[in-house]
Amino acid sequence: SQTIHQWPATLVQPVGSPLSLECTVEGTSNPNLYWYRQAAGRGLQLLFYSVGIGQISSEVPQNLSASRPQDRQFILSSKKLLLSDSGFYLCAWSVRGAGGNTIYFGEGSWLTVV
């Protein structure tokens, strides 16, 4: 069965520091991968998605970047964090197929920028 791992689960970082959140998917090949963010009291916002290695699409302009160095690895990064980057970050995956492409989410990472 497929599983998704995301780490770290919680993170407290000072303003201006770098960020790296990692996500890996097991049990599937060539998945679509996604990063979402949920600010406190707000809805889920799609940040990035990837349909293959090295293929990254950004949904909103921001202080973050994403990379996909391997088929089942997705990394969210920032060179200098802002207070507004605080939130709940979720990695997700899906596999293209008939009958719709269900997206499955990880457990999320809580980021607090102080």
Give residues in contact with another protein (CB under 8 A): 32, 34, 36, 43-46, 49, 51, 57, 59, 88, 90, 92, 94, 96, 99-108
Q: Nearest Cα to 34, choosing from 100, 86, 94?
A: 94
Q: Provide, rounded to whole angstroms, the least separation between the CB of residue 69 and another protein.
A: 19
Q: Which is nearer to another protein, 50 or 78 (CB)?
A: 50
Distance between CA atoms of residues 18 and 51, nearest Å: 26
Q: Provide, rounded to whole angstroms, the least separation between the CB of residue 16 and another protein.
A: 27
Q: Provide, rounded to whole angstroms, the least separation between the CB of residue 35 and another protein.
A: 12
Q: Which is nearer to another protein, 54 or 100 (CB)?
A: 100
The backbone torsions φ and ψ at residue 20, rounded to the nearest 5 degrees and listed phi first, read -145, 115
Distance between CA atoms of residues 16 and 60, nearest Å: 20
Q: Provide, rounded to whole angstroms, the least separation between the CB of residue 80 and another protein.
A: 27
Q: Strands (DSSP E) along 53-101, which ranges? A: 55-58, 65-70, 73-78, 87-94
